[in-house]
Amino acid sequence: MNLPEINTSLFARLRFILVQTSRPGNIGGVARAMKTMGFDELVLVTPRFENALQHEEAIAFASGAQDILAKTRVVGSMAEALEGINFAAAVSARLREYSPPVLNPRELAEQVAAQPECHAALIFGNERFGLPNEVVEQCNVLINIPANPEYSSLNLSQAAQVLAYECRMAALNGQRTASEIGFHGEAASLSQIEGMYTHLEESLVQIGFLDANNPRKLMPRLKRLFARAQLETEEVNILRGIARQMVANKGPRGKS
């Protein structure tokens, strides 16, 4: 039996995540930006203001989007915020040396809209400090808004509005299909991928390829490599099987 269209629509499978937001007004502004474009799932990770969702500034800036605030979840970790997500996009004006692949908002929107199996999250950082590197490294892509290089500063709710608009247009246009981008299997969840990274790192240490006391940049490079692949569940299982076999073969090879 076919699922109703709304269940595969991008409007039903895109989550906005705000990390350590400082100003309640920005939370309300993001809720308003989301509602104007037809999105309604908002999650806050450890906001820096107590009772941020009930704050008068958040309610004022929401300006009619109080229903979005009412259903917003507040969680204590990124792991909780990313439950059920298999594609995460970090939104940042600052490019990193070992960031995942960089897309602009339109590229990101077209990609996630074309993949009905993709449950995606847009992750926005703190107004002053942005997103920490460890959060960016967990993501599949980094989104950079191509603003005026002489003045590229965007308010948090403005950035959310740009992303929400592009996602709405991509969802309505439906210009590309899953077959066109070669997506066929079930996308691996972020928790599955993170477990694979941990397993791979432990195995590389055990076979002597990685020095646990001096890891340098090997794991960030590997994470960037695999982020470009958009791993499926079966592919994650294959990589974990390889990691197990590397360790199993270490003894005999070490003695030869």
- CA distances to 65, 106, 109, 141, 153 from 146, rounded to whole Å, are 28, 11, 15, 15, 11
In this predicted model, which residue has the larger pLDDT, 190 or 82?
Answer: 82
Is residue 199 within 8 Å of 71, Cβ to Cβ? no
pLDDT for 5 beyond 60 = no
Cα 16 to Cα 188: distance, rounded to the nearest angstrom: 19
pLDDT for 243 beyond 90 = no
184 pLDDT band (50/70/90 cuts)? low
Helices 233-248 and 190-206: angle between axes, nearest 10 degrees = 20
pLDDT for 175 beyond 70 = no
Taking only the tens place, the pLDDT of each residue in 87-123 is: 999 999 887 777 789 999 999 999 999 998 899 999 9
What 3-state DSSP class applies to 42?
A: strand
- The confidence score (pLDDT) of residue 14 equals 98
- The confidence score (pLDDT) of residue 107 equals 96
Go through the domains of the chain in sequence order and give each one's CATH number.
5-181 (3.40.1280.10), 190-255 (1.10.8.590)
Mode of pairing for the β-strands spanning 141-143 and 87-91: parallel
Taking only the tens place, the pLDDT of each residue in 21-38 is: 999 999 999 999 999 999
Taking only the tens place, the pLDDT of each residue in 53-90 is: 999 999 999 999 999 999 999 999 999 999 999 999 99
- The confidence score (pLDDT) of residue 229 equals 77
Taking only the tens place, the pLDDT of each residue in 205-239 is: 888 888 878 777 888 888 888 887 778 888 888 88
Give percent above pLDDT 90 in the chain. Answer: 53
pLDDT for 241 beyond 50 = yes
Helix-then-strand count for the chain, H and E: 12, 7
- The confidence score (pLDDT) of residue 20 equals 96
pTM for this entry: 0.72
Cα 53 to Cα 59: distance, rounded to the nearest angstrom: 7
Phi, psi of 15 (to 5 degrees): -115, 135
Cα 183 to Cα 180: distance, rounded to the nearest angstrom: 8
Is residue 20 within 8 Å of 32, Cβ to Cβ? no
Residue 173 gets the label, from left (phi > 0), alpha (psi -120 to 50) or beta, of alpha
- The confidence score (pLDDT) of residue 94 equals 82
SS3 readout for 77-123? CHHHHCCCCCEEEEECCCCCCCCCCEECHHHHHHHHHCCCCCCEEEE
Is residue 226 within 8 Å of 193, Cβ to Cβ? yes
Cα 164 to Cα 158: distance, rounded to the nearest angstrom: 10
Nearest Cα residue to 14 out of 40, 44, 48: 40
